[in-house]
Chain A
Amino acid sequence: MAVQEPSPRTAATTTTATTADSTLPLKDAGLAAVLTGVLTLPLLGNHLIIDGTKTTLVTNYVPVLIAMALVFVVRLLRGPLDRALAAIPRPRLPAALGERQGLWLAALVLAALVFPFVAARGAIDVLTFALTYVLLGLGLNIVVGFAGLLDLGYVAFYAVGAYTYALLSQYFGLSFWLCLPLGGLLAALFGVLLGFPVLRLRGDYLAIVTLGFGEIIRLVLNNWDSLTHGPDGINGIDRPTLFGLTFTKRAPEGHTTFFDFLGIPFDSQYAVIFLYLIALALVLFTLFVINRLIRMPVGRAWEALREDEIACRSLGLNPTLVKLSAFALGAFFAGLAGCFYAARLGAITPESFTFIESAVVLAIVVLGGMGSQLGVILAALALTLLPELAREFSEYRMLVFGLVMVLMMIWRPQGLLPASRPRLELPQ
């Protein structure tokens, strides 16, 4: 490898200025190239050739050399490249929509209400899935966006909600509509239980503890075989009913189907539409609650706490209680989403509640703009619908996802639609 060095170095020195400074980037680029060589040697330099039952290891250094050359050139041209990149105009996105945000929200809701009656079944299904993430995003937005608490274990509350419904339905035959508030409340209770000891922590520390908590819940669900059936999860969870009317072809004992009741022929499309409408109703309920809360003293207290905890304490606000309220409320909505998730799929496993789910929901909040509800809704739709629309590229999903996050942090760290809480104004 080292043998390769001299020729580009001499070539480069002749073209660039001969001041002492100019050798610095060269040295740097050379070092980077060597490092690349060392690091990529085992990965790019060796190839396994499988020929029937015979496996042979072939060494081929050409890819390594290409990688080294690439790194060398890019590293060497870093200065001009940076300048060129800086010259690229940054995308101009609308500033905070402010007052008009409500109008956009209303239009969006109207479109969402009409949608299932004109769309295809697959599209409704996908959008129902997306609405679950809208719900999760709105819930986490309370914790991260309004109260400024970094929660990396949000999926735990989602899991609590889902398992609450799955288990209560399986063991006690409780209905979806009863389990929905129960799931939310139980998730909120878990939020309080976790929150009480850890909310005195700040920033990174809180993030780490919540991350751990998320994993604990998942591992408990995975290993408590006698209750949760471990990794197999729970199957055959009852679907939601409409005032006791089921959307199945044949009604279980003691029930009537929706179709018999209305005297129309069975059509599975109705079940899909029904689930969609439940999801939409949950989202609207959440939006209503959050929109009230941010106009209430508790909403102001969240923002004040995010800004200055010490000042809050000096004014008689109990920081733990204020944080706990945000944490529990966020957990409550995750619990609702979890209940709905279990009812929609009819089967859940602990694998549905891995850390990546928390990361996606957090990405939704960050991408949408912390504290901005319209932004969070749009981001949730984008992050769940785009991968569905471009299934061929699904392998690159995480790659694109990462790229988008990096670009967002560079160009618009405040999110797509940054918004502030509505202010009470004093007439002049």
Chain B
Amino acid sequence: MSAGAASAASPARSAPLLTVEGLQMRFGGLLAVDGIGFEVGRGEIFAIIGPNGAGKTTVFNCVSGFYRPSGGSIRLDGSEIAGRPGHRIARAGVVRTFQNIRLFRKMTAVENLLVAQHNQLDTSWLSGLLALPRFRRAEREGLARAAFWLEQVGLRAHANFEAGNLSYGQQRRLEIARCMITRPRLLLLDEPAAGLNPQETRELDQLIRRLRDEHEVSVLLIEHDMSLVMEISDRILVMEYGRPIGAGTPAEVRANPRVIKAYLGEE
């Protein structure tokens, strides 16, 4: 895969977007994550794989600010973000999806996207209360952006549906759109293909690629679907029991005996 080779080389050219070093997360006596380090370059699709309970989601929770890591550093564009509150990290441009989709189920698809624009819209109470032109223009622009992203994920026709009434695959796509509308620099996808049928997985594959190519976002994803991971990832980190057991391009990972033994060998 030529794009993969180019991206693998890119971290050397420019500073990486996300740098994780010596990440450690301890829950009481349990070391859930120990000594994890990796770099996500600009425009790169980076995957973390590993058996269940390997600590992948814990890494995600540390990067997205839901956990305060017990040790190590997480730098976004050179500045330390480890231990910062989740909403601050999100504002810095790291936005995530969830393994068990967390949409605002009682709100419509378009309203989900409007909530996500909270920090971009005009939230001044005065202009809102008086419905000043400034406020109305901001609302119009917000709606237009929402329409654009619904179009991007193929949900334009479902704009006014309650999110909870959408199909599973549609909910997954809406959640990704909701992330993208915040204009993130790094998109974290936690098992985006879980529960999707092969057709939907293929569409997701294309969507993720398009996000990277057209919207200049780097992607860090956790996934169990090997076909998806091997297809779209530029580089892969393999974890087991909270520790890294291998890293590299899909081809390298596939050839790594430790990885085969721990993970792929079981298939």
Taking beta carbons and an 8 Å cutoff, which residues of A are in contact with B?
289, 292-293, 295-298, 300-301, 303-304, 307-308, 310-319, 420, 423-426, 428
**Selected contact of B123 from candidates A297, A312, A423, CB within 8 Å:** A297
Q: How far is the CA of A308 from the CA of B103 in the complex (A)?
A: 8
Q: In the complex, what residues of B have CB within 8 A of residue A296's CB?
A: 123, 125, 128-129, 135
List which B68-119 residues lie within 8 A (CB) of chain A.
85-87, 90-91, 95-96, 98, 102-108, 110-111, 114-119
Question: Can you list, as one digit per residue, whether each of B164-188 has a CB less than 8 Å from chain A (1) or not (0)?
Answer: 0000000000000011001000000
Say yes or no: is B146 at the interface (Cβ < 8 Å to chain A): yes
**Selected contact of A426 from candidates B65, B117, B160, CB within 8 Å:** B160
Q: In the complex, what residues of B have CB within 8 A of residue A426's CB?
A: 110, 143, 146-147, 150, 159-160
Judging by beta carbons under 8 Å apart, are B87 and A313 in contact? yes
A303-B107, A307-B107, A426-B146 known; A316-B87 Cβ under 8 A: yes
Q: In the complex, what residues of B have CB within 8 A of residue A315's CB?
A: 87, 90, 95, 115-116, 118, 178-179, 182
Using CB atoms, name the residue of chain B closest to A299: B128
Q: In the complex, what residues of A have CB within 8 A of residue B24's CB?
A: none
Give 22 CB contacts A-B under 8 Å: A292-B131, A293-B125, A296-B125, A296-B129, A297-B121, A298-B128, A300-B114, A300-B115, A300-B118, A304-B107, A307-B104, A313-B85, A315-B95, A315-B116, A315-B178, A315-B179, A316-B118, A316-B182, A317-B118, A319-B87, A423-B107, A425-B160
Q: How far is the CA of A420 from the CA of B108 in the complex (A)?
A: 12
Report the number of A-B residue pairs with Cβ-Cβ less than 8 Å.
114
Question: Which 9 pairs from chain A and chain B are nearest by CB?
Answer: A316-B90, A426-B159, A296-B128, A311-B102, A313-B86, A304-B115, A316-B91, A307-B104, A426-B110
- A sample of 7 more A-B contacts (CB under 8 A), given A311-B98, A312-B115, A315-B178, is A300-B114, A304-B104, A307-B104, A313-B65, A313-B86, A315-B87, A316-B91
Of listed B115, B121, B135, residue having the most chain A CB within 10 A: B115
Tell me, rounded to whole Å, the shortest Cβ–Cβ distance linking B68 to chain A: 14
Say yes or no: is B216 at the interface (Cβ < 8 Å to chain A): no
Tell me, rounded to whole Å, the shortest Cβ–Cβ distance linking B221 to chain A: 15
Q: In the complex, what residues of B have CB within 8 A of residue A313's CB?
A: 65-66, 85-87, 90
Using CB atoms, name the residue of chain B closest to A321: B87
Judging by beta carbons under 8 Å apart, are A297 and B114 in contact? yes
Q: In the complex, what residues of B have CB within 8 A of residue A292's CB?
A: 128-129, 131
Q: How far is the CA of A423 from the CA of B107 in the complex (A)?
A: 8
